[in-house]
Amino acid sequence: MIKTITPETVVKALEHTLLRWDCKDPESHRLVERLCQEATQYGFAAVCVRPIHFTTARYALGATSVVALAGVVGFPENPLTKAIEKAHPIIGAVNSTTKLQEISSAQMEGVDELDVVMNNAYFKTDVEVGGTFTAEEFTGLRTCADDLPIKLILETDLLTPEEIKQAVTIAVNCGIDTIKTSTGFITDGVGATVETIELIRETLDGLGATHVGIKASGGVKTYTQALALIQAGATRIGSSNCVAIAEEAMALLA
């Protein structure tokens, strides 16, 4: 899917993130405030933060900000490798009740969008044995979230192309709003790639789900990367390097 994308379009698709595993001390709240200020200054689509920062981000953005506040649900605490994840599943491996509680808390703290991590290990088991846990959890999350948009994080570095298509299909059937590629916490992963975005977009189009968005996240550091991912079909770009990307975009307009 190659289409003409302007620098302004790229900037408006950015989600400014602060999800580092070590960002939990008092100083981190000042970093979140700066994150929100930068997102407002550049006109990003959203900021994306951990539950500990929901309230700080909501106050920093204000009640009427056009910048959305996205909050993660079931997000891993620490970075890990593929081998560690295979031996001891962590990605999305949070009790469903805990995810529902995190969603309820996010609603009360003024979050506008939810970035929810799929239980990767349970999904793989469902694929192997024909189980229904994944669909049931997605349905429960969708019901609990009410009208808040849900971005489902697949962690595509851990999935085969066929598994990605299966996960996308289940998500669409359960009313998920956006498919997100990665947490960015797989240290030996590649994160978002053009090929993966194209695969997700083709799958969505084949399901007649052209309304479902795609958030490319994980390893996106430059304007060139962001542009290529949007050309491939992404509707949002999650990155902790949004200011640098925006500055690159502005330089093209100078």
pLDDT in tens, 188-239: 999 999 999 999 999 999 999 999 999 999 999 999 999 999 999 999 999 9
Output the CA torsion sign for 115, 116, 120, 124. Answer: negative
For the question of whether the overall pTM of this predicted structure is more than 0.85, the answer is yes
Find, among 9, 10, 18, 23, the residue nearest to 37 by Cα: 18
> Among candidates 47, 66, 57, which has minimal Cα distance to 115?
47
DSSP structure class, residue 22: T
Long-range contact pairs involving 22-27 (C-beta distance under 8 Å, separation at least 24): 23/50, 24/50, 24/52
The amino acid occupying position 165 is K
User: How buried is residue 2: exposed, middle or buried, by Cβ count under 10 Å (0-12/13-18/19+)?
Assistant: exposed
- Secondary structure (3-state) at 47: strand
Catalytic entry in 124, 151, 165, 180:
180
State the catalytic residue, choosing from 124, 151, 165, 215. 215
Domain extent listing, the chain: 7-253
Q: How many C-beta neighbours within 10 Å does residue 158 have? A: 22
Q: What is the C-alpha radius of gyration for the chain, rounded to an integer number of angstroms? A: 17
Q: Are strands 178-180 and 68-73 parallel, antiparallel or unpaired?
A: unpaired
180 is catalytic: yes
At which residue do the structure tokens 């056009």 appear? Answer: 66
3-state class of 73 per DSSP? strand
Query: Is position 146 annotated as part of the catalytic site?
Result: no
Evaluate whether 45 touches 24 at the Cβ level (below 8 Å).
no
User: Domain spanning 7-253: which superfamily?
Assistant: Aldolase class I (3.20.20.70)
72-103 core/surface letters (b: 16 or more CB in 10 A; e: else): bbbbbeeebeeeebeeebbbbbbebeebbebb
Read off the pLDDT band of 78 (50, 70, 90): very high
Tell me the helices (H) and strands (E) count for the chain, helix number first. 11, 8
C-beta of residue 184 within 8 angstroms of C-beta of residue 157: no
Q: Annotated catalytic residue: which of 112, 115, 126, 177?
A: 115
116-172 confidence digits (pLDDT tens): 999 999 999 999 999 999 999 999 999 999 999 999 999 999 999 999 999 999 999
Does 215 participate in catalysis according to the annotation?
yes
What pLDDT digit, counting tens, does each position of 8-64 carry?
999 999 999 999 877 767 778 899 999 999 999 999 999 999 999 999 999 999 989
